[in-house]
Structure 1
Amino acid sequence: MASSYRLNYSSLLHLLLFLSSLLTSSANLSFNFYAGSCSVAEFLVRNTVRSATSSDPTIPGKLLRLLFHDCFVQGCDASVLIQGNGTERSDPGNASLGGFSVIDTAKNAIEILCPATVSCADIVALAARDAVEAAGGPVVEIPTGRRDGKESMAANVRPNIIDTDFTLDQMIDAFSSKGLSIQDLVVLSGAHTIGASHCNAFNGRFQRDSKGNFELIDASLDNSYAETLMNKCSSSESSSLTVSNDPETSSIFDNQYYRNLETHKGLFQTDSALMEDNRTRTMVEELASDEESFYQRWSESFVKLSMVGVKVGEDGEIRRSCSSIN
């Protein structure tokens, strides 16, 4: 689905000034970084994402989540892609990640035309960017030039990723440690407007009664929505079942997520927390009422996310295969 959103002149100027300030702190990243060395790189990633999405509409949500889990652990260096015992990818906190085959397909296509040139870290960031566009969201320009990390340790995962039962203060601390603000937290939580989650990611909002049936224990959740979730997740096979993050427009990147929060239909405790706290409620209400504002703020916050802890120059490498270091 092509996006109908484009920045107007004023918004574009604001975004360019914002991006310019970010690039001063990461001088080795630039727009069109591969213009001379691999001009087709971004086209190949975008085409791969679109093709994968056309056959599997869950792909955008998976690619977006993959970027979050990569950037929050050791920075945006594709360390989450490395396979093997004791790697980030092997940690239970990353067991439900997907989209790896899309990254590999894009990397393989690029390697044929531009061997040892484009980093897996850039491909992950570009694929997440293109996933949003493929789901009908804004077109975002991001700088490239990231290098791939040379290590990946499972021990780094749990202290850095956000659990779905975190309090707002815990989330604020986690985002702050990555150089992201409370506004970035609210805006980037909008990623939950697409994608799906396993029942065990939110079943802490319920408990089993004496007959083994679920009952609601989280008063911040709408009763009818809670009933739907409990019915979906009550079977013995619930560990393998998934529920759409957004019960209204699950495959469209829009601001419905925030409207869901206003009606107490946030899937996770971390979602509901944004509406329950005065520090974030006003932002939720603003984004719920103005999709263009959400898209503009998303563009800014997404770029910031994609630049967390990037490795440049001699700090990293260009992997030949995204699943293993050279």
Structure 2
Amino acid sequence: MGDAEAILRFREPMLLLFVILFSALPFSSAFSVGFYTFSCPTAEFIVRDTVRSATSDDPTIPAKLLRLLFHDCFVDGCDASVLLEGDGTERVDPANASLGGFRVLDSAKRVLEMFCPGIVSCADVLALAASHAVALTGGPEVRIATGRRDGRVSAASNVRPNIIDTSFTLDQMASLFISKGLSLDDLVVLSGAHTIGSAHCSSFSDRIQVDSKGKLTFNAPSLNHSYAARLAKLCAAGAAASVKNDPETSFLFDNQYYKNLMAHEGLFQSDSVLFDDQRTRTLVELFANDEGSFFDRWGESFFKLSSIGVKTGDEGEIRHSCSSTND
């Protein structure tokens, strides 16, 4: 056998192996884990570093980024439409008035445009930022898929029909989650995001009321009275005042939220019903007693959340600025 024939016989299986490996590389899919491995290998590092830096200056940032992702993905999918500014956009709806974290995303995007211009979408920046926010506050590291495209449409009229109100019943929440491809279990898991962050008193004022003489009235029978009294005191300054979602470990992503539910200290009606209803109580109890189970399930549910209605290909664009379309 000649040298040429020997080389060919050696190279053919090697070529086949190369093709197989090449086809499995992250960029071969329009939406996959490691999508930017070759087009912008520092993308995830840049977002993570930006979130870490912002959090060191302001520990409320992680909760803001996480909430921002929920409000984005539930309205027309995870396409960064909530980041667009202008009349009639999602941001002008009163339900989104208290959203924050926009500057962190803008900062990350500016750096990305320096190193990888026109490559990384704002939708991916938001999803990655929210994922890193959880990890930076003690939660699990979740490797999510990337390759989202940015939406070109943002309408305030789409907000209210697509987000959870704090006064919702379990059936109302379950119906909305199912419409997004999420389950009742996902509802319990993702509600654990309330283990960090804060809320304005106006968002739960219907649960407790204080008259002019200081008498406290409970409109939520299952709410712990001592906890309600503390809330009333904290909210004495008015509806614009705010309290921590989880008064025990407010800046730590852990399973304390579920322990609070079992103690009848759920801040919102939409929290309390998770323990009050037999359909979800078992999972609440599991997570309250086993943080590892919560973290494992969080990874699965968060991946699903961050994949809702993803736009790929020519369905969207890669914005130069997260607050405006490229038009």
TM-score by length of 1: 0.90
- 1:177-196 alignment to 2 at 5 Å? 177-196=179-198
Q: Which of 87, 100, 103 is the equivalent residue of 2:102?
A: 100
Q: Which of 198, 220, 223 is the equivalent residue of 1:221?
A: 223
- 1:114-153 alignment to 2 at 5 Å? 114-153=116-155
Q: Deviations over 1:287-309 (max 9, x none)?
A: 11110010000000000000000
Q: Match of 2:157, SS?
A: helix
Q: Deviations over 1:161-214 (max 9, x none)?
A: 110000000000010010000000000000000001111111110234353654
Kindly indicate whether the alpha-carbon contact (under 8 Å) linking 2:216 and 2:229 is maintained by their aligned counterparts in 1: no
Q: Match of 1:175, SS?
A: helix
Q: Match of 1:207, SS?
A: strand
Q: In 2, Cα distance between the equivalents of 1:253 and 1:36? A: 32
Residues 1:212 and 1:155: Cα distance change in structure 2 (over 3 Å): farther
* Matched residue, 1:267: 267
Q: In 1, Cα distance between the equivalents of 2:34 and 2:323? A: 25
Where do 4+ consecutive residues of structure 1 move more than 4 Å?
A: none
Structure 2's unaligned 5+ residue stretches are 1-25
Amino acid aligned to 2:225:
N
Q: Match of 1:204, SS?
A: coil
* Matched residue, 1:277: 277
Amino acid aligned to 1:164:
T
Q: In 2, Cα distance between the equivalents of 1:216 and 1:62? A: 29
Kindly indicate whether the alpha-carbon contact (under 8 Å) linking 2:224 and 2:263 is maintained by their aligned counterparts in 1: yes
Amino acid aligned to 2:109:
K
* Matched residue, 1:20: none
Does 1:322 pair with 2:290? no
* Matched residue, 1:39: 41
Kindly indicate whether the alpha-carbon contact (under 8 Å) linking 1:213 and 1:234 is maintained by their aligned counterparts in 2: no
Q: In 1, Cα distance between the equivalents of 2:214 and 2:230? A: 17
Amino acid aligned to 1:57:
P
Q: In 2, Cα distance between the equivalents of 1:35 and 1:183? A: 33
* Matched residue, 1:243: 243
Kindly indicate whether the alpha-carbon contact (under 8 Å) linking 1:221 and 1:264 is maintained by their aligned counterparts in 2: yes
Does 1:49 pair with 2:51? yes
Kindly indicate whether the alpha-carbon contact (under 8 Å) linking 1:214 and 1:234 is maintained by their aligned counterparts in 2: no
Q: How many equivalent pairs are there?
A: 300
Q: In 2, Cα distance between the equivalents of 1:84 and 1:163? A: 24
| 1:216 positional shift | 1.9
Amino acid aligned to 2:309:
G
Larger radius of gyration: 2
Q: Percent identity?
A: 64
| 1:248 positional shift | 0.6
Q: Deviations over 1:195-236 (max 9, x none)?
A: 01111111110234353654222111111110010011122x
Kindly indicate whether the alpha-carbon contact (under 8 Å) linking 1:167 and 1:270 is maintained by their aligned counterparts in 2: yes
CA-atom RMSD in angstroms: 1.4
Structure 1's unaligned 5+ residue stretches are 1-22
Q: Match of 1:85, SS?
A: coil
